[in-house]
Amino acid sequence: MPRHRTSIIPAPRSWAWLGLLPFAAFAALFLIVPTMFIVVGSFRNAAGDFTLANIVNLFQPSILAAFWISIRISFASAFLGCAIGFAIAGAMIHGGLPGWLRGPLLTFSGVASNFAGVPLAFAFLATLGRLGLVTVLLRDWAGINIYAMGFNLLSFFGLTLTYLFFQIPLMILIVTPALDGLRREWREAAEILGASRAQYWRMVALPILWPTLLGTLALLFANAFGAVATAYALTGSSLGIVPILLFAQIRGDVLQDPHLGYALAFGMIVVTGIANAIYIWLRTRAERWIK
């Protein structure tokens, strides 16, 4: 009997991957290549030879102090941003606030989370600077001189307060979907078993949201740690955080050693990379609960 051969029709070639080319080119040119250039430069000297001297110089007292104050500011703004943003989002979704507030609040959060740099610094100087609007109103109308009481916008607390302007909205945008993912059945089951509202949040909701909260804390930490434009425009060189030290180092204003600047940038990449890795890992765990 003659054998019938079954012909396999090849699947049509998909060109959908071409849509990724612009993003891949953008990421390669403005993220991957500059990052590799920084990493390689941090292990080279002025002659182009391999060296570990730049990494060793990161342990100078002045540089360690800059890293320490940057970590403190980043953690303080991230922690306060998480706490305040979670409270606002919780009140908006589960607190009984009018539903029409959700749209404007999320819209404002989307805008404010990207409002940084020189405009944000100018806004805070015009509001809470020594001659800012709020400062003058409190002094002339209420007799309260916040600067005489120890407040200083160009300080650790002032920069942390400024960072909160974009940290809180970012927290609201991230935690809102997680709060929406809390199923009504969980709350009803807890109420049937006799749990109060506080017990439901402490024993059911918060354990489910805990990976999301910790992951967002890590993300906000990385977001603040890498911010340079706002800090430089607000404080100049009066507050020695790592981004300002790096900015001055690359421009040659301090030690005129660009390879030490590469090492500073490499240290920032390591810190922010660890924070983002923690965020991704915890975010993955949180999505398992939501599903």
CA-CA-CA-CA dihedral for 144, 161, 168, 26, to nearest 10: 150
The dihedral sign for the CA sequence 91, 94, 97, 100: positive
d(CA 266, CA 290): 36
Among candidate residues 238, 269, 279, the one with its CA nearest the CA of residue 66: 238
Residue 282's pLDDT is what?
83
Query: In angstroms, what CA-CA distances link 207 with 115, 200, 202, 213, 214?
Result: 32, 10, 7, 10, 11
- Please say whether the structural domain 62-290 has been given the CATH code 1.10.3720.10: yes
Residue pLDDT, tens place only, 125-168:
999 998 899 999 999 998 899 998 988 888 899 999 999 999 99
Give the chain's mean pLDDT.
Answer: 86
**Token pair of 39, please?**
């990493």
Residue 138's pLDDT is what?
93
Residue pLDDT, tens place only, 179-206:
988 888 888 888 888 888 888 888 888 8
pLDDT at 3 over 80: no
- Report the percentage of the chain scoring pLDDT > 90: 33
CA-CA-CA-CA dihedral for 252, 254, 258, 263, to nearest 10: -150
Q: pTM, whole model, 2 decimals?
A: 0.85
Cβ atoms of 122 and 233 closer than 8 Å: yes
Residue pLDDT, tens place only, 75-106:
999 999 999 999 999 999 888 788 888 899 99
